[in-house]
Structure formats: structure tokens, C-alpha cells
Amino acid sequence: MSQVLCATTTRRTLANAIRFLAIDAVEKAKSGHPGAPMGMADIAEVLWRDHLKHNPANPHWADRDRFVLSNGHGSMLIYALLHLSGYELSLDELKNFRQLGSKTAGHPEVGHTPGIETTTGPLGQGLTNAVGMALAEKLLAKRYNRPGLDIVDHRTWVFVGDGCLMEGISHEAASLAGVWGLDKLTCFYDDNGISIDGHVAGWFRDDTAARFRAYGWHVVGPVDGHDASALAAAIDEAKAVSDKPSLIICRTQIGWGSPNKVGSHDVHGAPLGADEVAATRAALGWPHAPFEIPAEIRQAWDAHAKGGASEGQWQARFTVYRMKFPAEAAEFERTQGGALPNNWADIRRDLLASAGNKEGGIASRKSSQNCLDFLIERVPELLGGSADLTGSNLTAGKGSVAWHNAAVDVTANYISYGVREFGMAAIMNGVALHGGMIPYGGTFAVFSDYSRNAIRMSALMQQRVVHVLTHDSIGLGEDGPTHQPVEHVGSLRLIPGLDVWRPCDELETAVAWADALERRDGPSALFLSRQNLPQCGNRGSRAADISRGGYVLSDSATPAQAVIIATGSEVGLALTAQEQLATMGIAVRVVSMPCCERFDRQQASWKKSVLLPDVPRIAIEAAHPDPWRKYVGLDGEVLGLARFGESAPAPALYERFGLTVAQLTRVVIETVARESGNDGDF
């Protein structure tokens, strides 16, 4: 139901407040995208004032609706909405749009600006994050709601533009949303026919309505995106659908209101210019100075009273829920706050104890599954999945219940994403952003290329997401170079804030899982082997040392003449080489470095005690050698793979590329001889 407005606060006038805040901010910054906010202002006014359930006084209220601006370049749209609605985003912050230190960055950033639900800018990912949020809502509603006590009951709204729908990830996300029947997801398509290069008809002629109907969506429109009554009716129609997501196609004009630039790409990513700003003020009858919003317009926009009432009703309902279902209420509050189970210390201890007792050869992907068998039944907020590689990634544990196999009265905790690596990674970001669940998902390490930008975004947004990347080297064998990652582990180590783990046995794998779950300020990637790896036991303080990222796994009986640094499947080679070198009178320390990022965060004293600054170092990893130069220096050596692999059984490939005990031993001997001035005859 639309709110009653006075003559001076018509819907159009309220929408114009958005338009001119955007125009003025971009003009002052001499940078930005005014066209999208001007074109979508009418849609935003109807949605935010009449339908969006939110409370500016509490941006983190668990049962708020989620709003995502997927076309994030139009950031002044959401900044204007947040400011006008009453969030802690001052007019001064709008005046500092795109300036150093302001809360109004060029693209919306979660955690940086109150009320922003996700970081958007890479087109299509906001839509995909929204799918993840809607998925989380649906799963949590099934887990926690009880008859008459729906404590999880909110919607996800997302704005997208032509660019979002051109990106391939939109196909992945929209297809899954249809399969999952995410009925509380509504997408507004800003169909203005313009992108940076001009009119999109030259490169984008999809029948969008037919496309989304084929995905299993309910499609509304096209409707006039500047007609408030038509928009209100469209939203009502979408909300009435209870078995599928909805797409509302809104025909708009980019830069609506600008007499000379409306409908042109000239208004997409550049200020209007002083003359056109003045002309637009005249055309829309907006006599106010830059950044001036009349009191009656501010009052009509203020959402504190309505939002406070909505949250108050929910709080009353949750109070009854807590009395009737105290255990469920406590778990809901815990998971919404991001805390692990109260007995987590015991869970971690038992997990590591079990892992440290394993013997024989075990692939680290299998070790990971063993960890999941233990964790899933003890950490109920885990939501697993795989991009059509469950049987290879081993991401399903004994307690996993797949969405497509779940009984009506059972909550799923595992998603088969299909062959959609990028979509999976971005959906997991949305799940994490929503709160209440910890997502993890698997694919082959080499296919992290497909999902890389979403992995980067999980790091940028500091979200607890676990990327399970198996078949981590030439050790996968016969599938050949298309499937053998060479540059991937080193490349992902370059992403700030991403912890990359390459464990050598089940204990290191268990620590990786435990530390990834404990970490609340960023994602983790686990590189896991296809082939079996020897187990190194749990002597001394090993479990605690593993958490430091790099540690002395096996020291020499006498002062070390060299340090071998290894990860994953190559740690076993290093240990065997150490034994052989000892018989030659060469004392070698073996350092396992399962997570370079955690090691780099340690104090200098720890790093020096592990790597021995005055001793030559040799690194070995079945991956590109260059990243290891920062540890071995100019005088050290690296055994790696600076070329693509081949198709053959794994043992033959390791022999072919010199990743062997014999080669490692030879390199150590030569390095020690060179550093000591010895002729190499030991």
C-alpha cells in the first residue's frame, strides 16, 4: 500500500531527491555514473518506501530484507537511498563521493558503508550474491521456523542492468535460482538499452523475458520504469508468486530528466556538466541548491518509525520463539553472530587428535572428507557443495543432505551447483554475507580460473568462505595439462586476504579446516591432492605449529647445512631426501609450509627460527617456482614446474619433470657445496 503524500511530496518529487543527490555528488567529484541513478530513481522510490523491510537504526537486523545494487557503478543511487532513509550516512559523506576516506566509494563496499549488503561493481556478481542470500533465507527458514513463529521471513531485492545480464555468470545464477524456486527473490531489470559503448542493440539482443521464463522465473512486464503505479502493481504481482523467483522488466531512460543527455551513453559514466545540471533542475522543477533536501521530503523518506515497528514486531515474535524453542533460538543467535559452537574447543581438539593418529597413504582430498565427516554433524551451519565434482572433490560427508535429494521435512546442507564454478563461488559469497551459514564448495584446482574473481571478492569483502580445490598438481595424472594446475596455487597466493593451504597429510588438512572455520575476516582455499600422501603423525607441538603456516617438521640431529621447504605432496619427497642426505653426512632441516600467508603473518622471530637466515634454502612444490624466490633468495634453489604438464600416470610425470628424491638430493648437495666453497665431493 502506497503512503499518503502531500502536494509537495509527490512520488516524482521524492524520486527527484535521489536524482539530484546523485547529480550533485557526481558533479562535485567530477567523476561517477549519474545516468543509472537518474533512470532507476522511480523504481527505487516505490520499492524502498512501500515494500523494503528494513530498519536504519539497525542495519544488521537478522530478518531485514536484503537489497543489492548489482549494477554497482550507479552507487549514488544506494547512497542517496541510505542517506534519505536515515542510515548513518551524512550529507557530508555524499559531498565527499569518491574521495579518499569517505564512506561513499566509487562502488558500494560492504562493511564500509552502513546498509550496504555486498560489494558490487564486477557486473553479474551482485545478482549472484543475491541468489546466495535468497538461498540462505530459504534454508534457514526451513531449519528454524515453526508453525505461527516465522523468525526467518524476508525478501531479497536486486537491481540489474544490461551489463549484468550480458555477463555469463548471470546465466549460471539465474538458472540455479529457478531450479531452487527462490520465490522471495525479485530482480528489477533496468532495461534502458544503453551501455558504455552506446546502444546495446549492436551486441545484446536477447529475448530476456523468454530467457528468464526458460530458467523457471516468473516474468512481469515490460512495465514503464518511470510510472509509480505500474511499478507498484508489478511488485505486488511478484510478491504474490510463491514458487519461483520474479523478474520485473522496467523500461527506463538512462539519465531521465536531463533535457539533452537522456537516453544517451554520454550520461552513463561522466558528470552532466554545469550547464546540463542547471537545465535538468529547470526541467524537473527542482529549485533547490546542490545537496539541499527540503524538510518535508526528508520526513517523507525517513524510515526509522516504520523500520523500528517492523523490527519490534519481529523481536516480540522471537521472544515467544525463545520461550518455546530455547535450543533453536540459542543456535540461531549464535550462528547469526558468526560464532562457532560453544564446545568448539573440544571439537577442534578431537578433530586434530583423530587426524594425527592416521597412518598409511591418504590423499589429502580424502583427508578433507574425513574432516567433513567429523565436522558436519557438529557444526550445523556448514553448507557444502561442488560444481558437479562431488565424487572427485569428496566434499560430501556422512552427514551431508543434498538439496535435490532432501526430504520435505529435512533441511538440506549440500548443494550440487552443476558445472558452474563462477556461479558457485559468488553464490557462496552471498550465503556468507547473509549470515547464519558457513559455505564451502569444491572444484578442480585448475578450474579456480573460472571462479577467480568471485574468490577475489570473498577476500575483498573479508567473508568466511572455504574454497576446496582438489587435484592440485600434475599428480592428477592422465587427464593431462588441461586439468593440471601449474600457476594456480601461486596465483591465488597473490590475492590479499586469501589464506591458501596446501596440506601434506591429514593433520595439516584438519588444521586447515579448523583454522578456516575459526577465521572470520576472510576466505580460505584448500589445495588437495588426488594421490595418496604419507602421514607424518602428531609429535610434540606439531598441531599448534601448523597453524603458524610454516614450521619445522623434521630437524637434523646436528646443525642444519640446508633447509628444504616443501608443501603438500612434495613434503614426503623432502623427508625421504633428508634421510638419504643424512647418510652422506649432510644435515638438512625439513620445513613444511602449508600456508604461506599465515607464515608471513608470524613474528620475525618465528620466521627466522624456522628458516635459519644463514643457511641455504631449497624449495620444492609441484607448481610454478617463482613465488618461492621470496623464501629461498637469490642463492637458493626451487624445484618446480615452469611449464604445462602432460598426460601420463602421476609417477611418470614426477619423474619426467624432475620432482624426485634423486633430483632434490642432487640440488641440495650442489647448493650446500656452492655455499660452503666445497667441491661437492661429500
**Residues tagged active-site:** 421
Give the residue ranges of DSSP H helices in 464-547.
488-492, 506-518, 542-546
Provide the phi-psi class of 370: left if phi over 0, else alpha when psi is between -120 and 50, else beta: alpha
In this structure, what C-alpha cell is assigned to residue 638? Answer: 626451487
Strand bridging mode 532-534 / 562-566:
unpaired
Task: Tell me whether residue 496 is exposed, middle or buried, using C-beta atoms within 10 angstroms of its C-beta: 0 to 12, 13 to 18, 19 or more.
Answer: exposed
Distance, C-alpha 22 to centroid of its chain: 28
**DSSP code, position 557:** S
Residue 258 to residue 278: CA distance in whole angstroms: 9
Cross-strand pairs, 272: none
Q: What is the 3-state secondary structure (H, E, C) of 219-259?
A: EEEEEECCCHHHHHHHHHHHHHCCCCCEEEEEECCCCCCCC
Smallest CA-to-CA distance from 289 within 20, 54, 499 is with 20
Strand bridging mode 185-191 / 246-251:
parallel
Residue 607 to residue 611: CA distance in whole angstroms: 6
What are the CA-CA distances from residue 44 to residues 85, 108, 115 (Å)? 12, 16, 15
Residue pointed to by grid coordinates 599428480: 475
Which of helix, strand or coil describes residue 148?
coil
In this structure, what C-alpha cell is assigned to residue 225? Answer: 520504469
- Ranges of beta strands (E only) in 495-641 are 499-501, 524-528, 532-534, 551-554, 562-566, 588-592, 617-620, 637-639
Q: Is the dihedral of CA 420, 422, 427, 432 positive or negative?
A: positive
Residue 618 to residue 647: CA distance in whole angstroms: 28
Half-sphere exposure of 118 (CA within 13 A, CB side): 38
Smallest CA-to-CA distance from 595 within 551, 553, 626 is with 551
In this structure, what C-alpha cell is assigned to residue 38? Answer: 537518474
Strand bridging mode 361-363 / 532-534:
antiparallel
